[in-house]
Structure 1
Amino acid sequence: MLLSREDTAAGAAVRSLPRFDPYIMETYLDDLREMKRQVYDLFKYNPELLTGPELSKEEHRAMVRTQLRALLKEGINPLTFFDRDYKKYFYLAECLSMVDLSLMVKSGVQYSLWGGSVLNLGTEQHRRAYYDDIGAFRLPGCFAMTELKHGSNVAALQTEAVLDVSTDEWVINTPDEGAIKWWIGNAAEDGKAATVFARLKVPSQDSQAGLVDHGVHAFVVPLRDEAGRCLPGVEIHDCGYKVGLNGVDNGAIRFSHVRVPRMNLLDRFATVDKSGRYSSPLTSESRRFAATLGELTGGRVGLTCGSVGVLKGAVTIAIRYSAGRQQFGPPDSAEVSVLDYQSTQLKLMPLLATAYCLHFAKDHLVNLYVDMKRTKDALLVEEVHSLSAGLKAYTTAFTQDALSICREACGGHGYAAINRLGQLRSDHDIFQTFEGDNTVLLQQVTGTLLKGYRARFKGAPLSSTFSYLKQYVASELVWTPYE
């Protein structure tokens, strides 16, 4: 085969580029490469498990169920990771984000939200009752927190759980339209049970005082029988097509005086005895509420990992395409790679650099989370809560913008559905909203920072100001000797 002058010149230019061994960087960045290989090989060698762009909502949901069961059959059990090795669990979320974001979210609902709430908010009796079936996906479940009128404001949820002392049961009820549980993952088709967040109410010891409201607590509530039929008092509607993530079966749930045993209260932070007497090791309602939500920080960590995975994938697609696509060039010379143009570099190279930064920030967050779960240190709990809120908000917003830039950098080819950038953009968009709206999360970070500044300036104005400035100057004037 004869090469043209242009081909020869292009080949010489490529050969003149610096040699770089990606294995060195890969081993530095990634100490769980074997799991990535196992996950990606599963889908590489079983192409029937890959999601096509033409699937209907129903077909996509069925595909995600098949994918999840294929992972379990391969020996990859997300609940085992969530229970024993958080680092592997969050790493799996990052891997799945580039297989199908619907699969990543479905797995997160089943194992981090439904399974995690049972493990972290319940006690040993709940673990024994549910662990194996949740892990094997024999008991698909939901995380029924968000209501039609209340999303981020969890403390104001309206769903009620009233203790009937005579039957030793909780009566779960949706008091009005605004209290319908909405956008609940796994609800529309699969969910057989749910962790339902409701206002715990018990009869007052004073018969004239009515019910005492102890605030929002979590309860396990069965939804469907083995044949998939809704149980008496449970009404579920499909939320229908969404902008993205149509492989996740989101639904709306209404409860009409559904009765569950008293033991279905996830009672790690509060218990109620047969007489209706409420007790908790935490002395205030605000502390109990904070402890309950603090156990759910892992959802934000998982979304951060998934969003970083999407960013890595999109940047890889765009840069590879731009390196291979050639356009224009000097007269009588080979065309120039699109990536060699400064305008393309100004689009893509900052994204690549930020992807590396967010990779290390994500790893730092995961390591802090692991330490927090191990030590239960109160200061670390607060730090992880704040960092996960801020990093989730920043990462998801940056990735969403990056997806549009990557799509545009690929020109018309980036608009083809098979190249995934459009679908990734649609699927990822909701990451800015669920597990905490980004605006609200950043306000939480602001509150934490202001609290820290207030603590720094505690005491007499002059001495506290001097102490703060002393610490600030000391941190800025750190001498590093030359090597």
Structure 2
Amino acid sequence: MRLCANSISVVYIFMEVKAKTLFNRRKMAHLLNDFSSGPLEIYRKKATFDWKKMKIFLDTEEIIEYQNELYEELKHHPILFSKPSSLDEEKRISSLRIFILNSIKQLSPFSNLNNLPKLVTNLVTLFQLDSATYAKYILASMMFPGALQSLGTTRHTDNLDKATQLEILGAYCLTEIGHGSNAKCIQTTATYDAKTQEFILNTPNFEAAKCWAGLLSQLATHAVVYAQVRTSDGTNHSLHPFLVNIRDPKTMQPYAGVIVGDMGEKIGLNGLDNGFLIFKNYRIPRTCLLNKTGDVSEDGQYVTPHRNPNKRYGASLGVLSAGRVSITSVSASNAAHALSIAIRYAAVRKQFGPEDSEEVSILEYQSHQHRLIPFLSVAYVLKIFGKFLMTTHYGFIIDATFGTGSDGNLLTDLGIELHAVSSASKPVSSWVVRDAVQECREACAGHGYLKAAGIGDIRNDHDANSTYEGENHVLIQQTSNWLLKFWPPILQGQTISSPLKSIDFLTNCLEILKTRCVVDNVDDFITPNNICNMYQWLTCYLLKISYEKCENLMKLEKLDSFWAKNESQVYYCKTLAVAYIQHFMIQRMLTTICEATDPQIKSVLTRLLSLYGIWSLEKHISTFYQGGYASGPLFARLIQDSLLKLCKSLKNDAVALVDVIAPPDFLIKSVLGQSDGMVYKHLEAAMVQAPGALERPKWWKEIVQLKNNTKSKL
């Protein structure tokens, strides 16, 4: 009887597990469709993990279902997918698109404040749809209203409400022809006239013309304009933002005293109407001053809640941080897009092979794996880190704006750390994805050069990420400047901590610097623990020598602080900031991996993390020898052997890994990267169906005539 009861119990448990498994499969099938059979099926069957489980783990069921609904909604609007035939048409269509997007309820920036992952999903999806449209929509729906919200007061509420509804469109005008990063030297002036209670805006020369502002050249009727405030007593109160009406909303013509123009054709993002702006004695009401950080009274007295002018200046430019933070996720999206194309193509494309054998996929070749798979690890690291950074930042903004009971000092420290993190994450992510996209283009060889391949558009549009929202080489100095402040407390034995814990390991900095590489085999070398140890030593060492470099330049060569830091960038401060953010990215991915319960998912993510870490550390190899962490040839050989081993171990998972992060076929826009793997079918269709592809040119008679003229002369 007992045996029978036990048998029934085992059968019951087996049936329960089977039913649960079947339910989960049906649920996954509902969320994520299977791919059609085709050339990529060979590699999909070789994968060591279930791509659907991986996607659900990284994105959650709720977000995938939300994204599917968003995809279906986007498909209902054909204009979102129309192809413009000219530059002007491209700008027209992208302008119409922002109103379509504004009509989609899910995309409202304010509808997902209580669900930040949905907000991140919206941004990434829109960027995959069209990067210029994405930029336009974000400027119109988030940046311009956000500037009014954070810089204005109750007297600007009416304009804020209209901006939120897109009843008015506004540009953000800080940069000038002659000054960008050095915003303190902006030349546009706003001189207060107490008699009329107006500010008079002037552009003293062409170098002072506002430039590169999105929406400015064609759409904006308003602009947030930064100018040097001068009161009637002749005092310059430095840079302040103004809400300026620049066009008649009924005719779209600029007002007298305002000159607005287009910057001209660009390398990419040509759907975005970047413009320039010049003022000639243009009068605006006193209340146009966005006065949260400083104001001028009716009789011309300047008042500000900030005693420290640097804090007031920083507060007035704080709106820029949101765009900077988003670039990590945008870069991750670009990497995923380009790698989906290049890796799917590599799996299908066959060239050469052993004698008397079939040709093999180029993904089987070590050199091709070394070209692409490290960048695949980059895409995953940036995806995870970008999501963390954006949700943390938007949570901070909501807390700071609406106040949710957080400790004020903690909030201040978090803001400072987020600024340091984003000032390094933006440059490092945009640089590495620039290289990734170019490698993907070249890895697809001649076919990758076709516009129909899609990688060229990704490359051209991504290029701007290295420049806007802060020029990379300038921006990253803010991170190293922040880090350098911690060296004296380290020497004093103080505890170093921060809200995000990105620098907590610096408490043990002096002990870390005493460590040396004792690992002598690849398996131990590639463990996440060893990689973190190496990065912590690297960051501590670079912090030490960067600080000492600056101090020596000031003491021995009598340089001031400005020039000492400038003479310490290459090999020192810049490298310090890069190492710091790479280590923090690894920390965040390791945290995500620890949350995985599926052993296959945990295994492949760990290999991706290890590959990213080793591949990134290879670029710092000379520093490890210079600082004495490594000696002899073994360390360099372990780096190389580990890199190749990890690439090979991920080769069979590569197609499934891009399946997890790839845009859907209707957004991937590439004949080489469709999920069915039918590369040559799509390539043929694109070639023969292109307008005029099979016809003689319209100008054929000119050629015949020229040939006849040549013949007659002979």
Q: TM-score, normalised by structure 1?
A: 0.87
Residue 458 of structure 2 aligns with which residue? 424
Tell me if the contact between 2:294 and 2:302 (Cα under 8 Å) persists in the aligned partners.
yes
Give distance in 1, aligned partners of 2:78 and 2:492: 62
Matched letter for residue 354 of structure 1: V
Matched, 1:291 2:311: no
**Residue 250 (structure 1) shift:** 0.8
**Residue 362 (structure 1) shift:** 1.3
Give distance in 2, aligned partners of 1:334 and 1:61: 49
Tell me if the contact between 2:176 and 2:211 (Cα under 8 Å) persists in the aligned partners.
yes
Residues 1:35 and 1:15: Cα distance change in structure 2 (over 3 Å)? closer
Match of 1:383 among 406, 417, 428: 417
**Residue 108 (structure 1) shift:** 2.6
Residue 223 of structure 1 aligns with which residue? 246
Identical amino acids, percent of aligned pairs: 32
Residue 50 of structure 1 aligns with which residue? 81
**Residue 254 (structure 1) shift:** 0.3
1:317-369: per-residue Cα shift (whole Å, max 9, x none)?
11111112222333454432222222211111101111111112212222331
Residues 1:76 and 1:170: Cα distance change in structure 2 (over 3 Å)? farther
State how 1:160-171 maps to structure 2 within 5 Å.
160-171=189-200
**Residue 111 (structure 1) shift:** 2.9
Matched letter for residue 26 of structure 1: K
Tell me if the contact between 1:101 and 1:427 (Cα under 8 Å) persists in the aligned partners.
yes
**SS of residue matched to 1:297:** helix
Give distance in 1, aligned partners of 2:255 and 2:41: 70
**Residue 104 (structure 1) shift:** 1.7
Matched letter for residue 448 of structure 1: W
Matched letter for residue 134 of structure 1: A
Contiguous gaps of at least 5 residues in structure 1: 1-9, 205-210, 461-466
**Residue 274 (structure 1) shift:** 1.0
Give distance in 2, aligned partners of 1:337 and 1:189: 49
Matched letter for residue 158 of structure 1: Q
1:209-250: per-residue Cα shift (whole Å, max 9, x none)?
xx1111101100001112111112110111110111100001
Tell me if the contact between 2:329 and 2:382 (Cα under 8 Å) persists in the aligned partners.
no
Give distance in 1, aligned partners of 2:226 and 2:69: 37
Matched, 1:106 2:107: no
Give distance in 1, aligned partners of 2:188 and 2:290: 16
Residue 435 of structure 2 aligns with which residue? 401
1:174-198: per-residue Cα shift (whole Å, max 9, x none)?
1222110011111111010000011
Matched letter for residue 244 of structure 2: V
**Residue 450 (structure 1) shift:** 0.9
Match of 1:267 among 283, 287, 291: 291
Matched letter for residue 181 of structure 1: K
**SS of residue matched to 1:183:** strand
Tell me if the contact between 2:143 and 2:319 (Cα under 8 Å) persists in the aligned partners.
no
More helix by share: 2
Give distance in 2, aligned partners of 1:291 and 1:405: 40
1:149-172: per-residue Cα shift (whole Å, max 9, x none)?
000011111111111111112211
Residues 1:189 and 1:16: Cα distance change in structure 2 (over 3 Å)? closer
Contiguous gaps of at least 5 residues in structure 2: 1-38, 400-405, 495-504, 516-528, 531-714
Residue 258 of structure 2 aligns with which residue? 234
Matched letter for residue 346 of structure 1: H
State how 1:76-95 maps to structure 2 within 5 Å.
76-80=106-110, 87-95=117-125
Larger Rg: 2
Give distance in 2, aligned partners of 1:89 and 1:178: 38
Residues 1:12 and 1:24: Cα distance change in structure 2 (over 3 Å)? closer
Tell me if the contact between 1:171 and 1:257 (Cα under 8 Å) persists in the aligned partners.
yes
Residues 1:44 and 1:475: Cα distance change in structure 2 (over 3 Å)? farther
1:267-309: per-residue Cα shift (whole Å, max 9, x none)?
1122222112222221021110012223421110122221211
Matched, 1:245 2:269: yes
Tell me if the contact between 1:121 and 1:269 (Cα under 8 Å) persists in the aligned partners.
yes
**Residue 12 (structure 1) shift:** 10
State how 1:221-370 maps to structure 2 within 5 Å.
221-226=244-249, 227-370=251-394
**SS of residue matched to 1:59:** helix
More strand by share: 1
**SS of residue matched to 2:228:** strand
Matched letter for residue 393 of structure 1: P
Of 351-360 and 106-115, more deviation after overlay is shown by 106-115
Residues 1:102 and 1:16: Cα distance change in structure 2 (over 3 Å)? closer
Match of 2:483 among 420, 434, 449: 449
**SS of residue matched to 1:147:** coil
Matched letter for residue 122 of structure 2: L
> Number of paired residues?
457
Residue 127 of structure 2 aligns with which residue? 97
Give distance in 2, aligned partners of 1:275 and 1:117: 27
**SS of residue matched to 1:248:** coil
Residues 1:455 and 1:213: Cα distance change in structure 2 (over 3 Å)? farther
Give distance in 1, aligned partners of 2:230 and 2:297: 13
Of 361-370 and 429-438, more deviation after overlay is shown by 361-370
Give distance in 1, aligned partners of 2:245 and 2:514: 57
Residue 473 of structure 1 aligns with which residue? 511
Matched, 1:372 2:407: no
**SS of residue matched to 2:94:** helix
Match of 1:75 among 77, 81, 105: 105
Tell me if the contact between 2:79 and 2:97 (Cα under 8 Å) persists in the aligned partners.
no
